Amino acid sequence: MIARGFLGPLVFLGLIFGGALSTLGAPALQNVYGRPGLDLNGPWHVIVDPYETGYYDYRRQAFDASAKPAGGYFLDRHAADKSELVEYNFDESPTLQVPGDWNSQAERLFYYEGTVWYRRRFDYRPAAPGRRLFLYFGAANYQADVYLNGEKLGRHIGGFTPFEFEVTGRVKETGNFLVVRVDNQRHLDAVPTVNTDWWNYGGLTRDVRLVETPGTFVRDYRVQLKQGSPDRIEASVQLDGAEPRQHVVVTIEGAGVAAEADTDDSGAAHFEIAAPHLERWSPETPRLYAVTLATSADRIRDRIGFRTIEVRGSDILLNGRPIFLRGISLHEENPLEGRRAHSLADARLLLGWARELHANFVRLAHYPHSEHMARVADELGLLLWEEVPVYWTIQWENPATLQNAQAQLTDLIVRDRNRASVIVWSVANETPVSEARTRFLKTLVATARSLDPARLVAAAMQVRGDPARPSLRIVDDPFGEACDLLSFNEYIGWYDGLPAKLPEITWSFGYGKPVVVSEFGADALQGFHADALTRFSEEFQVDVYRRTLAMLEKIPQWRGTTPWILCDFRSPRRVLPKVQDGWNRKGLISSDGRKKEAFFVLKEFYERRAAAEK
Ligand code: GCB
């Protein structure tokens, strides 16, 4: 693992990963959208390369007679004269939009899993000498090899987390070429592994930016209420650069807060600030403050909300008051366009639907979504559950797989730990119980808690039955002991019998913790009406929702749920013709944006719960 704790000695780390190989990624810069730079989104030329021809280094051709002079795509070559043999040409190749997955942009790439080379040219002049430059990628699924002006900057593994490379001194005022090889092949030892229930969208799926900073700058910061303390703010600042000892000023406009501290030799400062007049962030009043962090050379602004979250017995307390989580799960997919969601507009569409449902909580399944989601949730007052793709089975005994999962979790937490909306870090989904798995997951919990002691940690666990008592369902997973919430996916009425058995079900829980049911649901093809025993009818789905909600209401420690799922989503596992056609149909909203009847069942339930709690 590369950088942990509060990012420890990043001045030193800057030397290691700035410009060098970053195999599993070190946490990326905080708040890249708050920095000047150059947007590298837009059309990029691409070469689809299933046979990995592009790896061949053209420059070695003269020394290796057996090699075919075709590759070296990262050199972005053009024949120097009419006789030279160069068998590729980015300028004449098609383009794909960045950010965006390739599957939805070209029919021939719909099921493609392999390598695509992307190329983009740019010019850039930094604002002043001595400024530093970083190439930032919001995410690339799954592996990215990055080359600038023909030189390799490094590799990043993991499809949903940000990464960057320092390129200070490597960017010319004109004529730069940036080439990225993106490979979305699935691997047994990867996170996630080879089998999931979502589309393996490949490509440069999130924003790409050139980010400019001063020579020594605020790389990371955390400004949040101290755990269990409603009027004290904890601030941590980490500088990166040759002059680590500086004076830092943190101001919170409108809260009468201005605090100062000196950073130490490693560029770190950690301090507490009294903030007696702070208005707390909540779903009802999502108050965000303008926060500024300034040194003599750097100044970065953010919008941050302040709230506490804790568990007491079987209650979840938001700002000290019990809350019921009226949730919904969602994938980061725009169902109307059948593609990865990546923009602010996408985030507003998806989270806007969640608000229409009268939800106050959203589970961002099953991997880190883009930073836009958390920022829009901050604005809208939606609480979030964020998750890493430790899904179904993973190589629990493989140290590299653990390191990969830890790196993804770290990158997510470092990116989003200033977001008031985020209240839960989820480390896994439906992982079968074994000693090796529980050990693996407990390591992830330790990572989460060390990076962020002020949020809850959970996982979507599984339910077990008892052959001697068919109506009993048990949640006593040994991993439950390490979690703050007791969360599990239950599909009684869909994968587990028919809905008629739901009223008979009773529950046994191994822990006196808040129960937040992370999934239940049923497939329904929007517009298909039949009786409630007909699979895939809207009536069947409605029946599952009605009976499940009635069953859950009988659980004394029930504190919330995120049913599966807001929208129909693409999945290659879902092949039933005329019904699924490559879509998981458990959405409450169809792939053409129509609300199914179950949407209104859940909406009414949430309205009633919200009214009862007032
Ligand atoms: C689950 C998984 C989710 C699936 C869902 C289903 O338990 O967590 O990823 O999509 O069931 O529809 O089967």
Please report the pLDDT score of residue 150 as a whole number: 92
Of 166, 195, 212, the residue at which a domain comes to its end is: 212
Q: Which atom of ligand 1 is nearest to the CA of 391?
A: 8
386 and 521 within one domain: yes
Residue nearest to atom 7 of ligand 1 (CA): 489
| Mean pLDDT confidence for 525-544 | 98
Distance 565 CA to ligand 1 centre (A): 9
207 and 242 within one domain: no
Is cis: bond before 129, omega within 30 of 0? no
Q: Is the Cβ–Cβ distance between 499 and 310 less than 8 Å?
A: no
Spatial CA neighbour of 319 closest among 306, 328, 337: 306
Please report the pLDDT score of residue 59 as a whole number: 54
From 430, 567, 580, mutation site for ligand 1 pocket: most ligand atoms within 8 A of C-beta: 430
Distance 258 CA to ligand 1 centre (A): 47
What are the strands of the beta sheet with 143-148, ordered from one edge?
Answer: 95-98, 42-48, 115-122, 176-183, 143-148, 151-157
From 329, 426, 489, mutation site for ligand 1 pocket: most ligand atoms within 8 A of C-beta: 489
Q: Is the Cβ–Cβ distance between 491 and 464 less than 8 Å?
A: no
Burial 587-601 (b: 16+ CB within 10 A, else e): bbbbbeeebbbbbeb
Residue 489 resides in a domain: yes
CATH code for the domain of 521? 3.20.20.80
440 and 357 within one domain: yes
Alpha-carbon torsion (245, 246, 251, 256), positive or negative: positive
From 197, 431, 487, 495, mutation site for ligand 1 pocket: most ligand atoms within 8 A of C-beta: 197
317 and 285 within one domain: no
Q: Which atom of ligand 1 is nearest to the CA of 489?
A: 7
| Mean pLDDT confidence for 193-209 | 98
d(CA 446, CA 456): 12
Regarding predicted confidence, which is higher, 24 or 605?
Answer: 605
CA-based end-to-end distance of the chain: 46
From 330, 388, 564, mutation site for ligand 1 pocket: most ligand atoms within 8 A of C-beta: 564
Q: Which atom of ligand 1 is nearest to the CA of 523?
A: 12
DSSP assigned state of 58:
G
Q: Rounded to the nearest 5 degrees, what angle is found at the Cα of 286, between the Cα atoms of 281 and 290?
A: 80
CATH code for the domain of 224? 2.60.40.10
372 and 262 within one domain: no
How many domains, the chain?
Answer: 3
Residue 306 resides in a domain: no
Render pLDDT for 78-133 as a digit per residue (tens, 0 to 9): 998 999 888 999 999 999 999 999 999 999 999 999 999 999 999 999 888 899 99
Distance 364 CA to ligand 1 centre (A): 13
DSSP assigned state of 75:
G
State how beta strands 339-340 and 333-334 pair. Answer: antiparallel
Render pLDDT for 470-487 as a digit per residue (tens, 0 to 9): 999 999 999 999 999 999
268 and 153 within one domain: no
Please report the pLDDT score of residue 199 as a whole number: 98
Domain limits for position 578 = 311-613
Residue 54 resides in a domain: yes
Render pLDDT for 1-35 as a digit per residue (tens, 0 to 9): 222 233 333 333 333 333 223 334 457 899 999 99
From 330, 494, 584, 585, mutation site for ligand 1 pocket: most ligand atoms within 8 A of C-beta: 584
Residue nearest to atom 4 of ligand 1 (CA): 197
Max intra-chain CA distance, the chain:
81
Of 183, 212, 241, the residue at which a domain comes to its end is: 212
Residue 3 resides in a domain: no
d(CA 514, CA 309): 13
Q: Which residues line ligand 1 (CB under 6 A)?
A: 197, 366, 429-430, 489, 519, 564, 584, 586
Residue 7 resides in a domain: no
285 and 236 within one domain: yes
Residue 173 resides in a domain: yes
Distance 386 CA to ligand 1 centre (A): 16
226 and 203 within one domain: no
Q: Is the Cβ–Cβ distance between 590 and 335 less than 8 Å?
A: yes
Q: Is the pLDDT of residue 68 over 50?
A: no
In percent, how much of the chain has pLDDT > 70?
A: 93
Strand segments, DSSP code E, in 81-131 are 95-98, 115-122
Residue nearest to atom 3 of ligand 1 (CA): 197
Q: Which atom of ligand 1 is nearest to the CA of 519?
A: 7
Regarding predicted confidence, which is higher, 69 or 517?
Answer: 517
Please report the pLDDT score of residue 227 as a whole number: 85
Residue 304 resides in a domain: no
604 and 549 within one domain: yes
Structure tokens at 398: 């493989």
Please report the pLDDT score of residue 128 as a whole number: 87
Residue 4 resides in a domain: no
| Mean pLDDT confidence for 196-200 | 98
Q: What are the start-end ranges of the H helices in 314-361?
A: 344-356
192 and 80 within one domain: yes
Of 185, 212, 239, the residue at which a domain comes to its end is: 212
CA 199 to chain centroid, in Å, comes to 15
Q: Is the pLDDT of residue 510 over 90?
A: yes
Average pLDDT, the chain: 93
Q: Which residue has the tokens 């039933």?
A: 576
Consecutive H or E run containing 442: helix 435-451
Please report the pLDDT score of residue 183 as a whole number: 98
445 and 365 within one domain: yes
Distance 214 CA to ligand 1 centre (A): 46
479 and 332 within one domain: yes
CATH code for the domain of 138? 2.60.120.260
Distance 197 CA to ligand 1 centre (A): 6
Is cis: bond before 43, omega within 30 of 0? no
